[in-house]
Amino acid sequence: MHADLGESEMEIAAALVGAVATAAATTAASKLTTLIGNRHCEATVKEKAQFIKDEVRFINSLIKSMPKELGLSPLQTQCIVQLSRLACEIEDCVDLFHTGKTNTLTYDIDRLKTKSLEMRERIHTYLEIEKKMVPIGTDRLVEDHRRLLGTSHWGVERASQWAAAVPQELRDLLDDSNHRFWVDKNFNCLLYLCLFPPNQDVSTKPLMRRWVAEGLVDGANVAAENLRFFIDKSIIRSIHTSNNGEVETCQSTSQMHACISEKSKSQNFVLVCDGAARITELAEARRLSVHPPANGIPELNLLDDLPRLRTLAVFPADEANPDRYEAALDFFRYKVLRVLDLKKCAPLSEQRLKDIIIKHPQFLMKYLSINLGNINELPRSIMELNQLETLDLSGTASETVTVHKEVLLLPKLKHLLGKFQLNIMESNPLKSHSGLRDFLTNKSTLETLEGFVTGTRYGFQALMSLMKCLRIVKIWCKSDASQANLDILSSAIRKFIRRGTDEPHCGRSLSVDFEACLRGFMNEIDPVTAGILASLQLHGKLSQFPPFVAGLSVIEELCLCSTGLSWEVIQNGLIMVKGLKYLRLVEDNLVHFDMPPKADHLRSIERISIVSSRRLDITIPDEELPLLVSLQILCQALDVSPATANIQINHMNKLEKITLHHQLASGIRTKWEEGTSGHPNKPVLSFIKGP
């Protein structure tokens, strides 16, 4: 036995190596099942697909039955690599067929059938050779493995070193029989973090959408469960949590990143191109992550054909010359891209945009995140990317991106991110396109629309009420918004809230920025009986607390920004609202914030954030806000603390975090430090920038 490592630890290393192949084989079998059940598929093709499915399962079983106590031999590792490669080819073949953009299915299935049969025979031969090479007796087994080191990417020494580097948190999961299966199934989600540069904060929502687009998880709910599991088990760490407690960015630790990077490299899961990658590795690359530094490496030298690449992401360093990664944007190289992330790059040219959509269309594209720069209109031909699930054009230089009705007809689109308006020629697309109403009403899968502008032209406000799957909506009201369009928008908002009442388990989020709007339409939205919203954000001047908000029966998160309302008006407006957990006020006219005694409608609050550039009196009596977890007060002129009679916090048994203005007066700052140190929970006290 190796002097530094036990059998169980060698088994950990081997188990992680096999996890990628097991997950890939499972996905491939599932894809073949959909092909077998497709009524448009020929009977002979279905028969061959069933054969391939059986072969893949058999090969996977052979590999899973390999003894792993002493790690994997070179031959065993080669079996795993080949199974992963076959499974990915199967997935590409079936996915292309389902797009309706290929006519080579019969040929591809014949090729895959032959390949799977040959692979099964080859792996069986490998394992027979393995048996002959390994004499009985542990010591001889180790020596034989060591002898093979020179011809293998793996070996006992390498496996030993790698297993020793496995972080304890991951070891604990693998040692737990209740979690071993989960790791086998979801380890690819962790490996996906290798795509990002080390020490980079990773936004959680885009990360989960990528997992779904790649087929690494079965839907958004599973993606969210995986993320929570990774964080709860300290596999990855939460870097930034929003004021409402939601994890916004995460990151793997240095040790975890080194561990999964080694694992990713051994399985060719993610190839990081930072000047060190060998050109021979690119041919089999499934995911390419380009990290151009500001200086140091020449232009990329890529192969002309990268037919297996399914993810391309470019993360240039600040001031990196676009010429250094220009070769990665030659889309003729790619055939099966699912994920394209160029958001951090220089703005995309119109020609490059046409390449993606028309000239070299990426028919399997599911996640597209690009920087359009000054391009202010998306072409109708976006309809060619009919597998798109996420289209992220947020953060572009152009204030508003114009789209045509074709973007709404994308059959699988779930997340549309940016600031959009309909083309002015779409005077009434419901009349000009007879199938649009039926599609939006019965077939649209759009869940997130963040967001659209309402002005003088016909727009999304007239279509929003037809989209039954909408869960998250953001709206900007322009200064030229017509009364007719605002009336239509008001009606759409009411219908959106009413659907939340009918489906209370589907949390709906609404954000309306009416700061530029000259009409006070927010006060004209009629209340919805027993209305329910998970989240509501209002930004703009209000003359009164909106009746439609006061009429809600349940709201979990409320954010008011620059409304000009006093705290007295706000808290009276909420008197009939139940279930409030998060309250954020970005207001300069609050005057004071005093929590009234025995205010039942406010006792459920768990997180409060108050931002004010003016002096603010705050009073929180004893026994109020008993469920408070986080208290944020960003007010430089704050002159009250737990040392005064105004604020009582010791009764807050759940309090974990207090955040204050970084330029708070030193005396008040000291009193807050003393107050938190004397609290039974010792809540974390931090100081951040504020107005």
- Please write the tens of the pLDDT for every residue from 40-85: 888 998 999 899 888 888 877 877 666 555 455 666 777 777 788 8
Alpha carbon distance 218, 171 (integer Å): 25
**Total-model pTM:** 0.87
pLDDT < 70 positions in the chain: 1-20, 64-75, 130-164, 275-283, 294-300, 397-398, 426-427, 431-432
Nearest to 345, CA basis, from 320, 362, 367: 320
pLDDT at residue 382, rounded to an integer: 93
Write the DSSP string, 181-230.
Answer: HHHHHHHHHHHGGGGSPTT--EEHHHHHHHHHHHTSSSSHHHHHHHHHHH
pLDDT at 518: 78
* 240, HSE (Cβ side, Cα atoms, 13 Å): 10
Burial 363-393 (b: 16+ CB within 10 A, else e): bbbbbbbbbbeebeebbeebbbbbbbbbbbb
Other Cβ atoms within 10 Å of 425 Cβ, number: 11
pLDDT at 655: 93
Span between the terminal Cα atoms of the chain, in Å: 63
63's enclosing H/E stretch is helix 43-64
Partners of residue 118 on adjacent β-strands:
none
Q: Please, where are the H alpha helices in 305-348? A: none
Dist. CA 425–CA 429, nearest whole Å: 9
Closest of 163, 175, 183 to residue 229, by C-alpha = 183
The token duo for 125 is: 């031969």
E strands in 592-655: 592-594, 607-611, 617-619, 630-634
Please report the pLDDT score of residue 373 as a whole number.
Answer: 83
DSSP three-state, residue 556: strand
CA-nearest of 116, 95, 133 to 50 is: 116
Question: For residue 569, which of 549, 540, 555 has the smallest C-alpha distance?
Answer: 549
The residue extents of the domains of the chain are: 1-164, 590-690
Helices assigned H by DSSP within 100-147: 105-133, 138-147
The pLDDT value recorded for residue 572 is 92
User: Where is 533: in which H helix or E strand?
Assistant: strand 531-539
